[in-house]
Structure 1
């Protein structure tokens, strides 16, 4: 079940988007539930964790951009698609890690391309995992739950949302098992670009507060990887 929120202060636009979503999901045989909001305050106060949010940038009261910031500050990981009449507003979307934007009036072909891409991200996010072999058995870890990995001596430490998992392995072998959004930023570290929120003076800042060193020899490659990752998410 994919949960989708539509937030727009124009009733006509809410209705049009709802119809497009319903038709698309029926066409792709995906189960979904659509929630409609007429203002950003109601969306932010909602306790539901949405997979996708279609969000008008300009609204009375709280703007869509402000709502997106609050959602991100609260730890929300929804795929946000901004709806706007003015293309120049879209440049601010990078600050809140928006996945896409649609110009009003929303074209069917552009809408379907955005949905195709997001559903691919959701499927990849739900299925991608790492199996860790331990002496007492094994553990399956979702890649999206991993902040970063560190090797100390012969042991790998995987820092996840649920805690730290350690096992014996080589970091070179682990790197081959991970997706392209994991980057070797240091001989001892692999970092998940999904959680990098800043970089300064050879240190990467992660959303969970951790700071990861970037070796001098890998700085240019790291910066390039971050920029490429951001571009891919905006396509």
Structure 2
């Protein structure tokens, strides 16, 4: 469950943005909890942490840019997306380290691209490591060292950088739960395998060559989406 804060004083715009978030979540099988306020005061006063913030610029009282400056005093990393009809001010968003901006009216195409980018940022903020419990105890695994994870029976098999020829890391677990935890650069290519896109050397017609030398295959059901997602990832829009 991802916590989203929306600062938007226009009810219709807030409803439209909420619908876009729900559509994106339904398509990606991601759960979002959206908290909406018409002014920035609750965000500033609460100092509560969120996974993602959508901010209008033209707000009553404290405007979105001023609110973003205050937000950054206690949360320097939360992805911030400005949603505004004041396009001429959007460039100033980079002064408060805004992730991106969307100009109203918002189309789903442009929204989904920004959300893909936001989800990568959220993944980086949430976790750079995963903790797995093995028979020998707890092990911390850097996400960057995971090449791919596959299922065998009820076990998760971690294929890690540099473990060629070694016994792979094997733990009990749910691949779906791990996929949600990892997010970001990780891609589901079949019901039994997720891969780290940073370790894909080549991908063609659903055949993946990983940089550890392994060859993987996307299932027929996942192939089209996997190809599109990887192409977007290479383009920096996911």
CA distance in 2, matches of 1:101, 1:116: 13
CA distance in 2, matches of 1:142, 1:89: 39
CA distance in 1, matches of 2:54, 2:24: 14
CA distance in 2, matches of 1:4, 1:61: 22
Counterparts in 2 of 1:113 and 1:99: CA distance versus 1, 3 Å: same
Secondary structure at 1:24's aligned position in 2? Answer: helix
**1:106 alignment counterpart:** 106
TM-superposed CA distance for 1:121, in Å, is 2.3
Asked which structure has the greater RCO (Cα within 8 Å, sep 6+), the reply is: 2
Contact 1:100 1:234 in 2 (8 A): no
Number of paired residues? 142
Please give the TM-score of this superposition, normalised by the length of structure 2. 0.53
Counterparts in 2 of 1:76 and 1:20: CA distance versus 1, 3 Å: same
Contact 1:80 1:99 in 2 (8 A): yes
**1:49 alignment counterpart:** 49
**2:59 alignment counterpart:** 59
Contact 1:6 1:35 in 2 (8 A): yes
Instruction: Give ranges in structure 1 of 5+ residues lacking alignment.
Output: 132-136, 144-231
**2:210 alignment counterpart:** none
Contact 2:83 2:101 in 1 (8 A): yes
What stretches of structure 1 move > 3 A for 4+ residues in a row?
Answer: 124-127, 137-143, 232-235
TM-superposed CA distance for 1:233, in Å, is 9.5
Cα shift readout 1:160-211 (whole Å, capped 9, x = no counterpart): xxxxxxxxxxxxxxxxxxxxxxxxxxxxxxxxxxxxxxxxxxxxxxxxxxxx
Secondary structure at 1:77's aligned position in 2? Answer: coil
Cα shift readout 1:147-166 (whole Å, capped 9, x = no counterpart): xxxxxxxxxxxxxxxxxxxx
Contact 1:49 1:76 in 2 (8 A): no
Please give the TM-score of this superposition, normalised by the length of structure 1. 0.54
TM-superposed CA distance for 1:76, in Å, is 4.3
